[in-house]
């Protein structure tokens, strides 16, 4: 996969992540800033930044972490439950 394919794949993951976040917010699956979602995208994981609500989530509120939970894209720390999410992907 060349870099343009990887970018297109990432953009698709991000779009789907934001759509899922929006749907979860509409369904009332989150109260305040509690509750999290994540999406695996290749060898990286998209998660909402800590302290952000799913309602109105934007690209700026999404962080990308590697398999060790290190933020590699985005600002702010990943959700406090990042380790739990990563462990679930390993199962």
Decide if 16 is catalytic: no
DSSP-derived letter for residue 49 is B
By CB atoms closer than 10 A (0-12, 13-18, 19+), residue 55 is middle
Residue with tokens 């390993």: 90
**Which of the residues 11, 19, 59, 81 is marked catalytic?**
81
Instruction: Name the token pair of 86.
Output: 């990563």
Active site members? 81
């Amino acid at each position: 996969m060349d870099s343009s394919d990887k970018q297109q794949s990432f953009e698709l993951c991000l779009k789907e992540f934001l759509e899922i976040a929006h749907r979860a917010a509409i369904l009332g699956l989150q109260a305040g800033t509690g509750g999290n979602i994540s999406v695996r995208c290749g060898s990286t994981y998209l998660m909402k930044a800590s302290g952000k609500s799913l309602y109105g989530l934007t690209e700026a509120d999404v962080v990308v972490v590697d398999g060790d939970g290190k933020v590699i894209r985005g600002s702010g720390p990943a959700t406090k439950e990042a380790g739990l999410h990563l462990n679930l992907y390993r199962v």
